[in-house]
Amino acid sequence: MIYFQNDQLLIRNMRPEDAQVFTDEENAQGWHQTTEKYLLRLRDQEEGRAVSLVAEWRGQPAGYINVYLAPRHGPFAGQGIPEIVDFGVLQKFQRRGIGERLMETAEHVAARCADRVCLGVGLHSGYGSAQRMYVKRGYVPDGSGLWYRDRPCPQGAPCRNDDDLVLYLSKSLKPMREKA
């Protein structure tokens, strides 16, 4: 399915061939990925648990984002609030508005079934751009504190500032949903 298209950018559902492209490109950037991550997203999409989107810039896969319609982990599990998961734009395609368009599309997908959307963002500097974008888009902390390895991280508990240490944010989609 195509969600957005103009003369340079196309946003569509993820396809099997995207897994290897993103794995190779992210490894070239030093991100140490395997195709399994993308194959999992494809399986979840096929089983109806997620909508996995890919942005193509002038015909080349440039970024991806996933919307899990009923998350199984985190503070919003079991509440009917979709979660945006695993969002990335390849470095060579950044600063072209691709990430903003992917987020907008993911929010529209989420608005089809809920008045809110949530996401977890890492806390180390590698997530700095994403942190700023989420705040600018109206996401606010959900109040559940830090989570580490899919569990709340109580005050004073040991944790590591890696990709598993996240802060959950949410955003109201009511205005978007009223337009749909």
Beta strand spans in the chain (E): 2-5, 9-13, 50-57, 60-68, 83-89, 116-122, 140-148, 151-152, 165-172
pLDDT averaged over every residue in the chain: 94
Euclidean distance between CA atoms 134 and 146, whole angstroms: 17
Euclidean distance between CA atoms 63 and 93, whole angstroms: 8
Is 60 exceeded by the pLDDT of residue 177? no
Question: Considering only CA atoms, which of 35, 74, 33, 105 is closest in space to residue 167?
Answer: 74
Q: What is the mean pLDDT of residues 129-154?
A: 94
**pTM, whole model, 2 decimals?**
0.92
Question: Considering only CA atoms, which of 162, 173, 179, 93 is closest in space to residue 137?
Answer: 173
- List pLDDT tens digits, range 21-80: 999 999 999 888 899 999 999 999 999 999 999 999 999 999 999 999 999 889 999 999
Domains and CATH numbers, the chain: 2-179 (3.40.630.30)
- List pLDDT tens digits, range 94-112: 999 999 999 999 999 999 9
pLDDT at position 180 is 53
